[in-house]
Amino acid sequence: MAAGRLIIKTEFLPTKYRGYMLPLSQVFWLAGSLLIIGLASVVIPTVGWRWLIRIASIPGIVLILAFKFIPESARFNVSTGNTQAALATLERIAKMNRSVMPEGRLVEPTLKKRGRFADLLDAKYLRTTLQIWVIWLGISFAYYGVILASAEMLERDLVCGSQSESEVVVTVGVSEESQSPCHCHMFAPSDYQTMIISTIGEIALNPLNILGINFLGRRLSLSITMGCTAVFFLLLNICTSSAGLIGFLFMLRALVAANFNTIYIYTAEVYPTTMRALGLGTSGSLCRIGAMVAPFISQVLMSASLLGALCLFSSVCVVCAISAFTLPIETKGRALQQVK
């Protein structure tokens, strides 16, 4: 869903505005994140987490009804030969802007077939595709790792790099041999406040991210933010106060959000129209793999070795930073490509 909305916005926006408008859409992602945290702080202590899931599913149902009002990309319609639908979309846009369509006719490019998976691995895009996949996997791994690690550190009180001495013991049955340590407990109001503050970090670097994307370029900007993400993962192991922990989590959330902004824009720009949805779709699949692996590190490995988990997150970010810096194509100021 996220990839689809980004593709449509990318194909509707002029080249000079893409680097500004696409990162600003992060505001709505942030609003949703803050809403679910606030909702959780009210619903979980009263009626439980199951009701939180039910309530959070409602916007998804509403979106199904809203999709019919979203126009199809004119670029896509033209690339598939459906020029009449493309013209209808452009006329609708002109009417909304109280303008008129320019004179002339919409020329259909010579296109024999739509993009295929094999095209992503064609010699022209092979290196770009492989490096993008590595970056997407790593960014998703770091993003969800930060979210889950922050909850884990708050729950286990892992502020100074060692497990809290106070362990909650849950008795199962009557025998002492059946006792097992468990760190699970309900979040306090202060924990929700910490999560809200760190989540606000997702928009904190937006102005700098926009400047970096538009003046330094997509590759260098992504390389810098990924490198800084690696550093801040290691800083989480420093013995610090609660305020220091919140500060590190705040910066990490800001950096991982900036990483996502940049790679979304780059991936949408680097592929031609016939391959754009396919490129973002396959990248999104790698993104899901990174999201699936993150809990095993941030919640399983971290319980055994905080430093080991943080070093792994940091190492992945370093690999992504190098991959971003060495991407073969810079898309800053580059018009969207229509055909391969």
DSSP 9-51: HHHHS-HHHHHHHHHHTHHHHHHHHHHHHHHHHHHHHHH-HHH
**How many domains would you assign to the chain?**
1
Both tokens of 121, joined, read 């691995």
333: left (phi over 0), alpha (psi -120 to 50) or beta: left
pLDDT of residue 157: 55
pLDDT of residue 140: 92
pLDDT of residue 276: 80
Q: Does some domain include residue 16? A: no
The 10 Å CB-count burial string (b at 16+, else e) for 211-229 is: ebbbeebbbbbbbbbbbbb
Q: Which domain holds residue 252?
A: 115-160+185-339
Spatial separation of the C-alpha atoms in residues 223 and 270, rounded to whole Å: 17
User: Looking at residue 283, which CATH number applies to its domain?
Assistant: 1.20.1250.20
Q: Does some domain include residue 79? A: no
Q: Does some domain include residue 21? A: no
Q: Does some domain include residue 20? A: no
Q: Does some domain include residue 120? A: yes
Q: Does some domain include residue 244? A: yes
**Tens digit of pLDDT at every position of the chain (340 positions):** 555 566 677 667 776 776 677 677 777 877 888 888 889 888 988 888 899 989 988 888 888 887 777 777 777 777 677 788 888 888 888 888 888 887 777 766 555 566 678 888 888 889 999 999 999 999 999 988 988 887 777 665 555 544 444 444 444 444 444 444 455 566 777 777 777 777 777 777 778 888 888 888 889 999 999 999 999 999 888 877 777 878 888 888 889 888 988 898 888 888 887 788 788 888 888 888 988 999 899 878 887 888 888 999 999 999 999 999 999 988 887 766 665 5
pTM of the model: 0.71
Q: Does some domain include residue 318? A: yes
Q: Does some domain include residue 9? A: no
